Amino acid sequence: MKIFIDSADVWAIKDAYETGLIDGVTTNPTLIMKSGRHPEQVYQKLKDMGIGDISMEVVGNAEAMISEGRRLKAKFGDCATIKVPCTPDGLLACRTLSKELIRVNVTLIFSTAQAILAAKAGATYVSPFVGRLEDNSHSGVEVTRSIVDVYKRHGVHTEVLAASIRDVAKVTLAFWNGAHICTIPPTVFEKMYNHVLTDAGLKIFDEDHKTTFPTERVGGDMDALGDISYPPITGTDDGFTYTINTDDPLLDIDFGDYNEDDPRIGFIP
């Protein structure tokens, strides 16, 4: 189970990647255009961050896509996944590049039949567009489930990368229906942390913590710890109970061999 970020916003990707929960990045010409950068500037920035799987989209006829795919692989190395459309030319390019052990992500998948062809062409990933299917009154999650089921029945190793995901619920549903990877915008990734009950529970815990330990929960003044008043501490030994006078801090006391004249220890019958 992997999560990719679907964006060309380098700073947003950096913030997400630094959580340690992101496994790769997908981009496309539209996202690159919105970033205002040259595609290869974006790819280089992502590679420099240490991201090991970056989908780099190529266009044109089969010959052009093959040539560009080879060039990108040579320039960016193992982090390069070549992204091609599910068209006759795209699948010809996929077949050639995959034989050269270059990862290929076949995109613009809208049916199980297309995913079957992509797998036959040697695709590393197929990307069903969940959101766009939903826009056209089709269940994107059901198409994802169908692809996963066919691949399992026939021992296909191509992974299903659910794309065009616009909300947290669809992330959950895509994984529940067998997607190996979900690629999501940074905003959806951030929302995955959120739940109203988590917020409510954290508020209660913070209030209780302040009552018990009157210092800041995180990043507080550590010098203030010396001013904390703790409840009386008790220990049991040989059937007797002892209390510690916390006005005179007690560190390591051996209750089995104590000094009865020590004013810090009181006997309670």
* Residues with catalytic function: 83
Measured CA to CA, the distance from residue 139 to residue 260 in angstroms comes to 78
- Residues 120 and 122: their CA atoms lie apart, in Å, by 5
Between CA 29 and CA 42 the distance in angstroms is: 12
| Contact (Cβ atoms closer than 8 angstroms) between residue 92 and residue 122 | no
H or E, element range at 34: helix 29-35
d(CA 73, CA 70): 5
Beta bridge partners of 109: 128
Half-sphere exposure of 34 (CA within 13 A, CB side): 9
End-to-end CA separation in angstroms for the chain: 61
Q: Which residues contact 191 (CB under 8 A, 6 or more apart)?
A: 167, 168
**Going edge to edge, which strands form the sheet with 240-244?**
234-237, 240-244, 265-268
The strand ranges marked E within the chain are: 2-6, 24-26, 54-57, 80-85, 104-109, 125-128, 159-162, 181-184, 234-237, 240-244, 265-268
In sequence order, the β-bridge partners of residue 104 are: 82
